[in-house]
Amino acid sequence: MERDLLIQEVLRLKAERQAVILAHSYQLPEVQEVADFVGDSLGLAREAQRTKAKVIVFAGVHFMAETAAILNPEKTVLLPDLEAGCSLADSIRPEDILAWKQDHPEGIVVAYVNTKAEVKALADVCVTSANAVEVVARLPKDRPIFFVPDMFLGAHVARVTGRKLDLFPGECHVHAGIREEHLKALLEKHPGAEFMIHPECGCGSSCLFLKPDAKMLSTEGMVRYAKKADAKEFVVATEVGILHRLSKEAPEKTFIPVKPDAICEYMKRITLEKVYLSLKEMRHVIRVPEEVAQKARRALEAMVAVG
């Protein structure tokens, strides 16, 4: 089916199903263009709660669709490709949380939203890169904190809040692949550009050393900052899918990826055709067992309420 007809069919089926399409900023441009809302994990979770639609088509990865299903048990949540997973979410198991809790019975578990439902169910609170600093800053100072699973985001949170955190050694394979040498090359090529770095990046600390005025920002933070900043040129360290949205929302500005091949193959599994088939055939419905969802819901609702 040709692209224009595919778009028409997606829009027709969306109306017929009383559906909404939510897309992450790392999605393919053609998927972002048919979405009703494009944003980061926090924005998408809030939009999923807010929508009156009966069906949510989640153009993102599995843990995001799970989050929507947990927060909206009365709605049908569809994920166009069940293989759209996450290397970071796969890095941690419930047993890792339970082992830490056994050694720290008074401890607090802070789970990044990039985790599976079974991990969220064991957490005290969930966070996104947009509100992790604010959430951790509010936690009691006399209790140990286990931050899972992204060690680079956790190190950033510890640095900003001054809190001592136990960090799980997990990483996003895309962000971990953005290294100091990539930054150095762009610093020399674009000395006048503003640098925007995602806190999941493995180069975060070295970047702040190389360029102290670099901005550590979530994907949504990057969009907000780029729109209001005076600079006309930005170097961006995150998954390259964000460049489409940045260029669309700030068309008069130039955005340069630190690493042009920083591509999440899981995000890119969602295509326009799969969104169409998802709506046409109502596939694939994401369900979370209620005993897991009930526990995870508390941690997620605490996340959505902050920031």
Distances (CA, A) of 90 to 27, 65, 117, 209, 231: 20, 15, 11, 31, 38
Place of tokens 């136990």: 166
Q: In what order do the strands lie in the sheet with 125-127?
A: 125-127, 108-112, 145-148, 166-167
- For tokens 């993102």, the residue is 60
DSSP state, 220? Answer: H
112 a known binding residue?
A: yes
218 carries a ligand binding annotation:
no
- Check the annotation: does 190 bind a ligand: no
Alpha-carbon distance of 274 to 269, in angstroms, equals: 9
Which two tokens mark 159?
């640095």
The verdict on whether residue 219 carries a ligand-binding annotation is yes
Q: Write the CB contacts of 212 (distance below 8 Å, at least 6 apart in sequence).
A: none
Q: Is 77 helix (H, G, I), strand (E, B) or coil?
A: strand
Question: Burial of 239 by CB count in 10 Å (0-12 exposed, 13-18 middle, 19+ buried)?
Answer: buried
Cα–Cα distance for residue pair 245/253, rounded to 1 Å = 12
Question: 113 a known binding residue?
Answer: yes
Helices (H), 35-179: 41-50, 62-71, 87-90, 94-103, 117-120, 132-137, 151-161, 173-176
Q: Is 86 annotated as belonging to a binding site?
A: yes
200 annotated binding-site participant: yes
- Answer yes or no: are the C-beta atoms of 60 and 82 closer than 8 Å: no
Q: Give me the amino acid identity at 300.
A: L
Query: Are the beta carbons of 144 and 106 closer than 8 angstroms?
Result: yes
Cα angle 287-88-293, degrees, rounded to a multiple of 5: 25
Binding residues for [4Fe-4S] cluster: 86, 172, 264
Binding residues for iminosuccinate: 24, 41, 112-114, 129, 198-200, 219
Binding residues: 24, 41, 86, 112-114, 129, 172, 198-200, 219, 264
